[in-house]
Amino acid sequence: MRLDGGDIHPVATKKKSPSRRAAAKPASRRRAASRAPAPSTSTPEAARGSADERIALLIDADNVSHAYVPTLKAFVGETPLASARAYGDFTLRLHSWRKAAEEWTSLELVEQRNYTAGKNATDMRLTIDAVKLLAGKEPPTTLVFVTNDSDFTPVVEDAKKDGVRIVVMGERPHRALRSAAHHYVNLNDLRDRLESKAAAESDPREILRLLVAALRALPKLPEAAEQALAEAERRIPLASFGPAPKAPKPAPSAPREGGRSRGGRGRGGKAAPEAPRAEAERAAPQGMDPNALRRREELLANQPLIEALVDSAKALPSADGWVKGEFVLREVRRRVADFDRVAPRYSKFYRMLEDSGRFDVELRQSTVYARPKAA
């Protein structure tokens, strides 16, 4: 108000505009939500298509990990391949891709370096090859882009106009790229699904159930056979399968001069540490998927990383030692700058903690808690 000669005049007040930080908060939340991995919108079977499909698989190795090579190989399965190529600078940067490609002979590594800073030559080369494949004499019926980069959206839209089935596979591809494709498959979802399927197929109980079903399908069986089958069906759920029999120990190697054995000793006659593979196989449950076993083996071979996990958990404030798993992940990423590059690829972080053998893990109302085990 303003007082002028005893009169009272109201004065319009300016409304406070929201601060820049407050205005930016909803936008930042939207950006964080867009970065979160989107779940698959299609099953692997639908994305792979029918048996007469010809798949062309184009992988942007610059932003997709080599750890997904076994998953992609299992996804393709017996479907004929028109082409399977991964693009990137494999000489200077992507060394792990070379080793991963050795297990899949059909996968071709296309070397592409960025000769000019700020220009992504890999994207350009991949796009050009996609156009060439579609214009060839025998174009693929399904084109699979393994990438998280939205720059491939235009070529995906053009390929769809030509009647080609488009599949996008990635960890967190842009929404525009996912929407442009016929099928989108999250690589983490796919890996978990394939591992679960492999574990189920190797379950001895399932094998026994198949055998019983096959016998049931036979013509009329003698009464004694019917009774035996009924008893087998009753016992299958109760069956307990122990560990596989141990392989016989190899014969001791010939002693060196001086009587020292070649195997099992390091310098100074001290026992050599147990190989990570042997340790992983001993700790793994029977029937564990080979990919999961390989991840566990890779983790156990990296003891500095495991110690960093334990130190990160112990550094967090806690009354009883239990801390949230997401807090451990945040802390270890702060301590280990290249954690996401050197750590094995787990779809669920708590599985890494379990495989390390150094943590107790509990699920409390959809929240994972972990506690370092006592030494």
Dump pLDDT digits (tens) for 166-208. Answer: 999 998 888 888 888 999 999 988 888 888 777 766 667 777 7
Q: What is the pLDDT of residue 193?
A: 85
Cα 203 from Cα 208, distance rounded (Å): 9
Report the chain's terminal Cα–Cα distance, integer Å. 72
Cα 146 from Cα 47, distance rounded (Å): 13
Residues constituting the chain: 375
Cα 277 from Cα 297, distance rounded (Å): 5
Confidence of residue 221 (pLDDT cuts 50, 70, 90): confident
Of 3.20.20.370, 3.90.1150.10, 3.40.50.1010, 3.20.20.70, the CATH number of 44-196 is 3.40.50.1010
DSSP 151: G
pTM, 2 dp? 0.50
pLDDT digits (tens, 9 = 90+) for 241-255: 655 444 444 444 444
Q: Where are the alpha helices (DSSP H) in 41-120?
A: 44-48, 69-76, 95-101
Q: What is the pLDDT of residue 310?
A: 92
Confidence of residue 256 (pLDDT cuts 50, 70, 90): very low
Angle at 77 between CA 47 and CA 111, to 5 degrees: 90
Return the number of other C-beta atoms located less than 10 Å from residue 286's C-beta: 11
| β-bridge mates for residue 149, sequence order | none
Phi and psi of 23, rounded to 5°?
-70, -30
In the chain, where are the structural domains located? 44-196, 288-372
CB 184 within 8 A of CB 41: yes
Confidence of residue 148 (pLDDT cuts 50, 70, 90): confident
Query: What is the Rg, in whole angstroms, of the alpha carbon atoms belonging to the chain?
Result: 29
Q: Which of 193, 192, 196 is nearest to 288 (CA)?
A: 196
pLDDT digits (tens, 9 = 90+) for 109-146: 998 876 555 457 888 899 999 999 988 888 899 999 99
Fold annotation for 288-372: Nucleotidyltransferase; domain 5 (3.30.420)
Least confident among 77-86, 111-120, 275-284: 275-284
Q: Are strands 55-60 and 81-88 parallel, antiparallel or unpaired?
A: parallel
**Which single residue is written with the structure tokens 């350009």?**
124
Mean per-residue pLDDT of the chain: 77
Confidence of residue 260 (pLDDT cuts 50, 70, 90): very low
pLDDT digits (tens, 9 = 90+) for 343-359: 888 888 888 998 899 99
Q: What is the mean pLDDT of residues 370-375?
A: 86
Angstrom distances, CA of residue 350 to CA of 40, 50, 315, 346, 354 = 21, 36, 18, 9, 6
